Amino acid sequence: DAFVENFRSGRFKYGASTISQQVIKNVYLSPTKNPLRKIKEAILTYRMEQVVSKKRILEIYLNIIEMGDGIFGVQEAAKYYFGKPASALTVNEAAKLAAILPNPIKYHPNSDQKFVTNRTRIIASRIAKIESYKK
């Protein structure tokens, strides 16, 4: 588990944040990585989850997440990378945006990087599976 490994090593080398934690980290806390900040993050995340719906937390996340150098939110990313609003993205385009999230500075959705290509395929497949359940 990433949290346990981070705690044991005294460093934060593995990402283990939930979407709720990422919202708190990006909106309320400094980028400094230390145990005290992680404790504050956990407390604030717990409090937020008591009063804010998961749907609203996801909406906030999708509007603030960094999607490239100086590109924040999926709406801005959709316009920048694909020239259209997020609501007009194809499943494959949306999957490409999701694929870069581990490191949007390193990865580009329109690249032929093996990592992006593989993740895009996996994500698009999962979206298709979810869509098939809706029918």
Q: By residue range, what is the domain housing residue 20?
A: 1-64
- Domain count for the chain: 2
pLDDT of residue 98: 94
The residue from 48, 64, 80 where one domain ends is: 64
Q: Are residues 72 and 110 in the same domain?
A: yes
pLDDT of residue 3: 47
Q: Are residues 59 and 14 in the same domain?
A: yes
Residue 112 banded pLDDT, cuts 50, 70, 90: confident
pLDDT in tens, 2-39: 444 445 545 445 567 899 999 999 999 988 888 898 89
pLDDT of residue 15: 60
pLDDT of residue 2: 46
The residue from 29, 47, 64 where one domain ends is: 64
Residue 94: pLDDT over 70: yes
Give rounded-to-5 percent helix, strand, coil for the chain.
Answer: 65, 5, 30
Nearest to 29 by CA among 12, 43, 10: 43
Q: Are residues 54 and 2 in the same domain?
A: yes
Q: Are residues 59 and 1 in the same domain?
A: yes
Q: Are residues 53 and 110 in the same domain?
A: no
The residue from 43, 64, 85 where one domain ends is: 64
Residue 103: pLDDT over 80: yes
pLDDT in tens, 74-90: 999 999 999 999 999 99
Phi, then psi, of 90 in degrees rounded to 5:
-75, 170
Q: Are residues 129 and 76 in the same domain?
A: yes
Residues near 81 by beta carbon (within 8 Å), at least 6 away in sequence: 68, 93, 96, 97, 108, 109, 110
Residues 73, 106 contacting (CB under 8 angstroms): no
